[in-house]
Chain A
Amino acid sequence: MFPTVPGDFADANGKTRMTTTDSILPPPVGPAPKMRRRRSLAHTKWPVVILFMPPALLIFTVLVILPMGEAAWYSFFHWNGYGEPSKWVDFRNYKLIFKNSAFTKALINNGLIIITSILIQLPLALWLATMVTRKIKGALFFRLIFFLPYVLADVAAGMIWRFVYDGDFGLVAGIFHFFGAQPPFLLANADTAMPAILAVIVWKYFGFHMMLFIAGLQAIDKSILEAADIDGATGWQKFRLVTLPMLGSTVRLSVFFAVIGSLQLFDMIMPLTGGGPANSTQTMVTFLYNFGVTRMQVGFGSAVGVILFIICVTLAFSYKRIFMKND
């Protein structure tokens, strides 16, 4: 038997949509075939859904929804973490947070980290990525060297740099002593502590972004660059008009990681400065820890957590919607 219409053999999904018996019937009216398809889809998918959905749903509920809900609930209490929360204080914790100058400072610092990432770290990473993807001697070695800081644990990196910055015995002190100058205590000064930390952040994470860019660069079709060569494009023109636009999705992803990384920054700050001096290096998470956890202000800390969550979700979703919708 032959199908009446060749296209009836299979639909876009490759599934046989019409059997040969169907073909001798009058053309279908209304949604009949659609319903059939849904039913067959349901037939094949339900067991999968039943089997695979609960673990994921359970994990998501236990690890994300429940803690979030609990934190939201606790944020309305004055509670030290012992026993059950009982002192309901309405929105007092939230009011206190927005009155707290250290929180404002933390917000500004998180912004600073994002800006530094975008303006310094990503260009640096991109520049180095273009260097080490060239077929030159030692490129692979340098890739490894540049990636090394990222492999290091955040806490270890923080402690190493605390020694480096130490004004008595550190590397910085050594350099200053060599030139006969009085060494500065970068981490002990409210004006220099944050820039010093930003430098460490750039050092720590540029390798990660560089790797992303290397992957992106390798995915670019060489023939396009060759075509540009034939058209007489200069190196800069090739980079600006060919490479960069084709790296678009990688750049957007990189910025996304930088933003999320900034909001989560904690492990490295604690050994470096612990948020001081005078709260000048507080980030949202160190603020949460210093003002919520160590002070046994679980209600207050939960409120910070809720605010952090809202900021994270808003940023992540709007960024994905606006900048990454085609990626």
Chain B
Amino acid sequence: MSITAKWLRYSASAAGFAVLTAAANTASAETVIKWLHLENQEPVVEVWRQVADEFEQANPGVKIEMQFLENQAFKAKLPTLLQSSEVPSLFYTWGGGVLKAQSETGVLRDISPALDANNNEWLDTLKPSSIAGMTFDDKVWAAPVLNGVVSFFYNKELFDQAGVDGTSIDTWSDFMGAVKTLKEAGITPIAGGGGDKWPIHFYWGYLAMREAGHDGFMAAKAGENGGFAGEPFVNAGEKLAELGALEPFQNGYLGATWNDALATFGDGRAAMILSFESTGRTQASNSTDGKGLAEDNIGRFAFPVIEGAPGLVTDNMGGLTGWAVTKDAPPETEKFLEYYTSPDVARRISAVQKVIPVTIGVADSITDPLLKSSAEALAKETWHQNYLDQDLGPNVGAVVNDMSAAIVSGSTSPEDAAQQIQDTFELENM
């Protein structure tokens, strides 16, 4: 009772606040684009603000308001927010099942008219695969902005100390060998964020991709061959359990957040991290001294393949993120996004945020060596799989995260975990 009551009280006060701000807004006869983001790093927000200011200057009468919500709060609040009077004009999206669910309820606006205008002027500047990733039911529900790839980043010094060569890790057994060698040398092999769970889902997800391969994975999503309870997924769980049994993570990793894990890597307290393309920046900003590892001390290698399994080393797991536009957003919103994704702006944002824009031609001009290596991996990829906790929707995704952490800590068997994922998947898709 108290929860719903509390919740309603909050909404009631929020509604009151909304009335106040609405009154303030109508007083100035401007078009206001409300931009909801979840970026908490100051330099990134700064460059975004600059872009917004430039757009405001070029378009008199348009005002862009930036609104920030913390990641978890954003996810929890979005359904209510999108259906309230305080709906933002554009908001961050990871695509996948969540965007699909949002698109089906009519809270979003199809941006294809804007993309197709003037003979596909905007559309032609963006990578086709990125457009495809935001398309459901033949409509484009968000402007794609970035794509990325999750891969291993390693501390070259610590690898040298243990006598491990990062560039020669190709297979899962190579990787397991490296973990053992590091451990024997008294070095914590991997930084992990088990408290947040999703950082561990990268392991299960990649192992499942390698075990099942593209076709096997798609078959599972179609409910064939036992779905996610099928053999490749149980095998993936077993491999993850074997890794967990080596105790490769830092002490207390099951309570660690993602930022803790980045700090562990950035401080040089662990030799590896399975992480996003932006790791060069985030390991530094999260490290204890704020500087982290030197750029040339960090190496990158793709998630290893499994001998005899169909998954390829060029099959990538990574994000495709963008900005979704809501139904009643001002018409200038798409124009702003077109400006935001234009090559020059994308290049500037990429330089600060250390990300790989989907704007054609921008990825090639990346100079940061670490980011460049990720961009090259993206350029020659054979399959791009979105994060499973986005792709499979919030519910199945959360179970995948739970099960990944449970397998690696040994509290659930791989078979039970695979079955639980499949059960939830069936419930969601019945």
Binding site for B on A (CB under 8 A): 62-64, 66-68, 70-71, 78, 80-83, 96, 167-168, 185, 187-190, 193, 264, 273-274, 276-279, 285, 288-289, 291, 293-298, 305, 308-309, 312-313
Contacts and interface: CB of A to CB of B under 8 A. Distances in A.
12 contacts: A63-B12, A67-B8, A188-B194, A188-B251, A188-B254, A189-B252, A193-B255, A273-B195, A279-B402, A294-B76, A294-B394, A312-B2
B1 A309 contact: yes
Contacts of A81: 79-80
B125 interface: no
B354 interface: no
Given A167-B252, A188-B194, A277-B405, A295 B105 contact: no
Contacts of B395: 295-297
Contact of B102 (A66, A67, A82, A305): A82
Nearest to A300: B395
B255 A273 contact: yes
A109 B370 CA distance: 46
Nearest to A60: B5
Contacts of B3: 285, 288, 305, 308
B1 A168 contact: no
A187 B195 CA distance: 10
Which 3 pairs of residues, A with B, have the shortest CB-CB distance?
Answer: A185-B252, A188-B255, A82-B105
B105 to A, nearest CB: 4
Contacts of B106: 83
A82 B255 contact: no
Given A81-B79, A167-B252, A68 B411 contact: no
B75 interface: yes
Given A67-B8, A188-B252, A189-B254, 15 more contacts: A66-B8, A67-B4, A70-B4, A185-B251, A190-B254, A190-B411, A276-B405, A277-B254, A277-B255, A278-B405, A278-B411, A288-B3, A294-B75, A294-B76, A296-B395
Contacts of B251: 167, 185, 188
B129 interface: no
A82 B8 contact: no
A188 B398 CA distance: 19
Nearest to B4: A67
A313 B394 contact: no
B378 interface: no
Contacts of B75: 294
Interface string B1-39: 111110111001000000000000000000000000000
B1 A312 contact: yes
A188 B253 contact: yes
B371 interface: no
A63 B9 contact: yes
A47 B101 CA distance: 52
A132 to B, nearest CB: 31
Contact of A278 (B83, B102, B394, B406): B406
B160 interface: no
B5 A82 contact: no
B201 interface: no
A312 B409 CA distance: 35
A66 B7 CA distance: 12
Contacts of B394: 80, 294-296
Interface in B79-137: 79-80, 82-83, 98, 101-102, 104-107
Nearest to B428: A78
B126 to A, nearest CB: 27
Contacts of B239: none
B306 interface: no
Given A63-B8, A82-B101, A82-B105, A277 B1 contact: no
B83 A82 contact: yes
A67 B80 CA distance: 14
Nearest to A84: B105
Nearest to B80: A81
Contacts of A277: 194-195, 254-255, 405, 409
Contacts of A185: 251-252, 254-255
Contacts of B76: 289, 293-294
Contacts of B82: 82
Contacts of A189: 252, 254-255
A316 to B, nearest CB: 10
B72 interface: yes
A313 B2 CA distance: 11
B5 A63 contact: yes
B164 to A, nearest CB: 24
A313 B3 CA distance: 13
A167 to B, nearest CB: 5
Given A276-B254, A293-B76, A297-B395, A67 B5 contact: yes
A188 B256 contact: yes
